[in-house]
Amino acid sequence: MPVLAEIFYWVVNMSILAGLTGLIVAVLRRIPRIPRFAIYLIWLLPLIRFWIPFGPVSRWSLLSLISRFTTRTVMIWNEPAATGVPDFSMTNSIQAADSYFPIVYKTLTLKNLFEVSSIIWAVIAAAAILTSIFLYVITKRELRDARHLCDNIWQSGKITSPAVYGIFRAKIIIPDFVSEQDLPYILAHEKVHIRRRDNLWRVIAIITACLHWFNPLSWIFLKWFFTDMELACDSKALRILGEDRAKAYASALLSCAAGKSVFASVFASAFGGARTRVRIENILSYKKLTVLSSLAFGALIVAVAFVLITNAAGG
């Protein structure tokens, strides 16, 4: 299957670049002063690298610094500067081919290796995606008997932590034990998830990890992304509720983090999930950003995106 082998060749290349990009994001997320929403946005960069094999060329790209030693750049669009249209290239980190479009491998052994590996990759990726869909369907079916309270808010005794279920017609499902004093904080958190379409991003992230199942970094990034999603959601909810309610918000989080739902799902944005201790520390230290700080972090996001998403020039 030469076509499948070619697809897999570029998938492996994308996975290598996405891994490098994600490791840089991992370093940035360790800097406490960078707001969690900024980190949440920056996770979009490795996601793009996981899915798109080409990008605009720039001499300021991170890949321009390392392309002489570790990668080869394959130009796919090269226009004179006078046209104003940027050049586009694909980064070939494997360097197992002599030519491209179609790929001509350096040796017959490499050709056979990629053809066999591509079949294994496709079978396991399809199995992982189908398993995820199956678990999602089972979870939704088990929660069909949830009791409707009002609007899109439901209640069920089968979960131990409030969560948003569904993507386009999302429902907030809360457990039976939730107290009235905790409810405003829970709803504020879950409504932020709904407004941001976080469950849709969860699905995209899970499918990405399934397609790049052979790359252990894709699963590590998935876990970190989910954690940063919750931290960013906490910050936004506190911005809406007010800093003076941080302790009450943290208390509500603690009361919902005692256990895991019987039908917990990676497709659901749970109020009590994702490293409770880290989230409480983040909540109690929350400070609303000034306009100047927001502009500075906005500029940081743009600069990081430009450096990480552009490719080196052909060579």
> For 70-86, what is the mean pLDDT?
55
Instruction: Estimate to the nearest angstrom the gap between the alpha carbon of 66 and the chain centroid.
Output: 25
Average pLDDT along the chain: 84
Answer yes or no: are the C-beta atoms of 195 and 240 closer than 8 Å.
no
pLDDT at 68 over 70: no
Please give the pLDDT value at position 237.
92
More confident position, 202 or 78: 202
pLDDT at 126 over 50: yes
* Residue whose C-alpha is closest to residue 189's, from 245, 228, 218, 232: 232
Please give the pLDDT value at position 82.
46
- Residue 166, φ and ψ in degrees, nearest 5: 95, 165
Question: DSSP readout, 51-68?
Answer: H--EEEB-TTSHHHHHHH
Q: Which residues pair with 56 in a beta bridge?
A: 88
Confidence category of residue 67, pLDDT binned at 50, 70, 90? low
Lowest-confidence pick of 20-24, 172-176, 276-280, 294-298: 276-280
This prediction's pTM: 0.88
